Structure 1
Amino acid sequence: MHHINFDIPSTQLVEIHVHTEQDEEFFSIGYIIKNAPDYLLFQSVSEQGILDNIQYRKKESISEIEIETDYLKMYEQFIFYTKANHIFDCFKLETIGNQFIKFNFEEMLDFCLKENKIISLVSDLSDDLLIGKIILADTKKIVFAEIDFEEMNYFEKHTISKEAIQYLELISAENILYTQYEQHK
């Protein structure tokens, strides 16, 4: 594996490539807002140039970071347009997500547990994105209750080692909408 430069200014748009345990590759576009020893805190931008989520990404899962490509230049224009029209951060994710910058990984998990937040995660066990809530946590693992979207209840519980968590969507437009629905159903 080649050396990856994680020391990129938070104003630099990047494309982060991830190679999974199940031999799949995918990428996210956005901004690195925190470069911690073992992980990145990342603002992900949607295909429309809108701030989509704030995510924790374990560094060991990252296979490549690209900057200044023609593809990213196109996204810079999308972002310029959405910012000029005041729709880049229509869910106020940046304001909400800024609180995570001061937290370490353990504190992020504790915050999500205490605040009963709907979050999304991917672990070493599967490439599937699980959406739900952390319902228990100790020093080594969490118990994650997955949402059944048909009934909007929590149907399957997963015990996941904290070490196995590769990706954690701390706040997203989608999860804000799920939370709003849950609170008003």
Structure 2
Amino acid sequence: MTRAVLSIGSNLGDRFAYLQSVVDGLRPFLVAVSPVYETAAWGVEDQPDFLNAVVVVAADDVDEWGWLRRGQALENAAGRVREKRWGPRTLDVDVVTVDGVTSEHPELLLPHPGAHERATVLIPWLDVEPDAVLPGHGPVAALKFSSEGVRRREDLVLSGGVNS
């Protein structure tokens, strides 16, 4: 059985509904669903704030490429258009890690580059897996990252049937 950590985010349209669409689309595989957080955009900063969460999934017949393809299918269903790197998007589904696999393939870098610095990934991940370990970086709880501007949205709860 492979276990994957996926980071999900949206800053266009009905942001919460797009996050919920991922949870709904991955429901048979869900292990955990984090709380929702709101954060300012980075990279291209002149854009709306993001809603972010993390889902942990597991399946017998899905490898790292399978999780990537499932995430891309969910992005496509949400009308994701890739016009500008780090630009606004209806939905972003990033594969953070899959069973400690490392990959330098241009289509699938694992663990996800920059995940070790991104509060938008690390804070929600720690909510659902306090003992999480990011391959190549160690225990997530021991990583140094800024949580400035990361706001937990108590009013938004993803309905996943696990940890929700």
* TM bucket normalised to smaller: under 0.3
Larger relative contact order (C-alpha < 8 A, sep ≥ 6)?
2
Whose Rg is larger?
Answer: 1
Please identify which structure carries the higher strand content: 1
The alignment's TM-score, normalised by the length of structure 1, stands at 0.26
